[in-house]
Amino acid sequence: MNTKDELLGTAASIATSVAPTASARVRLRPVDGRGVTIRDGLLADRQRVNRTVTLLHGAEELERAGTLENLRIAAGRASGERRGMIFSDSDVYKWLEALAWEVGREPSAELESLACETTELVAAAQEPDGYLNSWCQVLDPAWRWTDLEMGHELYCAGHLIQAGIAQNRATGDASLLAVARRFADLIDDVFRGGPVKSTDGHPEIEVALVELFRHTGERRYLELADTLTTRRGHGTFANGRFDLDYYQDAEPVRDARAIVGHAVRALYLAAGATDLYAETGDEALLRSMLRQWDDLTAAKLYLTGGVGSRHHGEAIGDPYELPPDRAYCETCASIASMMWNWRMLLVTGESRFADLFERTLYNGFLSGHSLDGASFFYANPLQSRNGVRRHAWNPVACCPPNIMRQLASLQQYLATMSETGIQLHQYAASTIRAVAGHAGPVELAVETDYPWSGQVAVEVVAPGEGEWTLSLRIPAWARGASVDGASVPAGDYATLTRRWRAGDRVVVELDMSPRLTAPNPRIDAVRGCVALERGPIVYCVEQHDLPSGVDLADVAVDAAADPVDGGPVGELGGVPGVTLAGTVRDADGWRRAEYRDLRQLREQAPAGPARLTAVPYFAWANREEGAMRVWIPASE
């Protein structure tokens, strides 16, 4: 009989971005990503586009933007001016992480050669003492550690560490990991053992250092993560350009009662603090994470899972400050939220975290990536009056390579394992090999057209030895759900404990009828509006799908009529549309003035009827530019 550690996999041997140690406080453990394949459907399609288009597009754009050239200059292989943002080295590291997961998923000589060549360049750019940051190296080496507020040196190091771990776990190649460790060792010497008693204005390194501890077994990295996390909240950046919330420096992490400040910083820090709890058992961190999650989901989260209400400071706003048109919802914030929710799921085993992961995945995350894979959104608003064109690359290019690494590793997030069995959290046509506790290795084949169909069939291909529990997430959005014909409650896992046999089949049915969603009345910006959802997908209406002569600004939805499934929208790859009953306001009077006497308005002729076609929000802005809205006024 194998030991528990051998069954569950040790940290260093499992190919996944999060690999808690054997003693970590987690209820669920990630499965080895190499044992999971998404075979078909929407997520498989997005992975295919990422592999065949986006990763290669990334190589071209990193070259065009000078991001790779900056490293060549730092390495002494080229001369010239450094170009791009202060943190642009991190774009290369995220892209390298994406290449690693992708090559691990399926070999590719082309992608391997890009990864190999770029890893060698990164290694060549590293200083003999381990320092690596082309901004300081090229512009002025004396700037090292002098601008922790905005310099992003540790932020970039965090992405380097994550890429090094990914490359080693996915492909076995340890060369980028060696570069990352040399830099991490220097940072530890300087920040914990040496003169610098501060931290970085942009969290990211915390989550990376905990993983480096998990991967190498070296405790100094965990202690450094703890030190850098604990240094926050004492006003280190009191004289900075932004307020302390922006830097996650207004309140110690363990004391925080609310989630505030720059959305990506807040969420990366939360992911790191959750990992730190998992490895140290520091309950104050977990309590803070639960408070912040409650605060986020009670009053600061967009329907799409997006986070960030303000362009100024890229910030999470006040409670209920959720304007659809001015929504920031940076794609990186959606990714950071998925990172945090995944870790909260592992720690607690509660389905609400997998629910939010799903909401974010299918809406606020996928919206950042065009259907053809070659353009991106940085901000993901829920309303646009004139339409927006996606960028082939952004001057601040944090989002595109972040999308790439998330898509290349998506198979890691479908399932987990525990001592008692296997848990399925995200449904996709897939093959899942995992270890069902003492029942040993099992294999499941999932057949489904999710998220378009609510029917999910799970077949046991290899049943393991003895009894174990299959847990199936029943999303909180489901109005009705059944497992093998028996009704089950939404918002929890349905569990089946059996001595399984090869060929056993379980069928989950989730009610996917389109549904109208009302906002909390305290959200002033969308009061009186409704949104449309179908399964996990948030829908929107685009000007493109309205009859000619009808302006999206004049449209209302009949909230008393049930939306019904429409046909596939061919221009958007056949995604299913949904038809809404609505009205078109007689806007003529309004076009002459902004404001009118309320009594005159009441006398206005009734609006005419209209049938509206809604499309998945993530697929918007893939045709010609035009208006879009998620929240639509309900007709009176």
CB of 67 to Zn ion, least distance (A): 15
DSSP 457: E
Q: In the complex with Zn ion, which residue's Cβ is closer, 328 or 477? A: 328
Pure H helices in 141-191: 153-171, 175-191
CB of 378 to Zn ion, least distance (A): 6
CB of 365 to Zn ion, least distance (A): 11
* Near Zn ion in 275-304, by CB under 5 A: none
Q: How many CB atoms lie within 10 A of CB 45?
A: 14
The answer to whether 135 touches 151, Cβ cutoff 8 Å, is yes
Q: In the complex with Zn ion, which residue's Cβ is closer, 304 or 418? A: 304
Q: In the complex with Zn ion, which residue's Cβ is closer, 149 or 330? A: 330
The answer to whether 286 touches 277, Cβ cutoff 8 Å, is yes
**Contact range with Zn ion by CB under 5 A, out of 103-111, 250-258, 332-340, 361-369:** 332-340
Separation between Cα atoms, residue 4 and residue 9, nearest integer Å = 8
CB of 311 to Zn ion, least distance (A): 13
Pure H helices in 538-604: 588-591, 598-602
Q: Would you state the torsion angle of the CA atoms of residues 146, 151, 157, 160, taken in this order, to the nearest 10 degrees? A: -150
* Near Zn ion in 134-163, by CB under 5 A: none
* Count of residues making up the chain: 636
Whether residue 563 is preceded by a cis peptide bond, meaning omega within 30 degrees of 0, is no
Q: Would you state the torsion angle of the CA atoms of residues 88, 93, 94, 96, taken in this order, to the nearest 10 degrees? A: 140
Q: In the complex with Zn ion, which residue's Cβ is closer, 8 or 157? A: 157
Q: In the complex with Zn ion, which residue's Cβ is closer, 212 or 399? A: 399
Instruction: List residues bridging with 458 in a β-sheet.
Output: 446, 506
- Dihedral class, residue 13 (left if φ above 0, else alpha if ψ from -120 to 50, else beta): alpha
Tokens matching residue 333: 């914030």
CB of 402 to Zn ion, least distance (A): 6
Q: Whose CB is nearest to Zn ion?
A: 332
Q: What is the DSSP string of 477-546?
A: T-SSEEETTEE--SSEEEEEEEE--TT-EEEEEE----EEEPPPTT-GGGTTEEEEEETTEEEEEEGGGS
- Mapped onto helix, strand or coil, the DSSP state of residue 173 is coil
CB of 208 to Zn ion, least distance (A): 17
Sign of the Cα torsion 585, 591, 596, 600 reads negative
CB of 332 to Zn ion, least distance (A): 3
Told to check if 338 binds Zn ion by CB under 5 A, we report: no
Q: In the complex with Zn ion, which residue's Cβ is closer, 390 or 629? A: 390
**Residue 585 burial by CB count (10 A; 0-12/13-18/19+): exposed, middle or buried?**
buried
* Of the candidate residues 38, 332, 404, 422, the single one contacting Zn ion (CB under 5 A): 332
* Near Zn ion in 597-636, by CB under 5 A: none
Element (DSSP H or E) covering residue 421: strand 421-424
CB of 398 to Zn ion, least distance (A): 3
**Where would I find the beta strands (DSSP E) of 349-414?**
383-384
CB of 618 to Zn ion, least distance (A): 17
Q: In the complex with Zn ion, which residue's Cβ is closer, 335 or 436? A: 335
Catalytic residues: 314, 398
Separation between Cα atoms, residue 47 and residue 363, nearest integer Å = 16
Q: In the complex with Zn ion, which residue's Cβ is closer, 170 or 336? A: 336
* Near Zn ion in 374-433, by CB under 5 A: 398-399
Size of the site for Zn ion (CB under 5 A): 4
The answer to whether 176 touches 162, Cβ cutoff 8 Å, is no
C-alpha distance from residue 386 to each of 325, 369, 571 (Å): 11, 20, 20
C-alpha distance from residue 185 to each of 154, 191, 206, 268, 334 (Å): 12, 10, 14, 22, 31
Q: In the complex with Zn ion, which residue's Cβ is closer, 38 or 379? A: 379
Residues near Zn ion, by CB under 5 A: 330, 332, 398-399
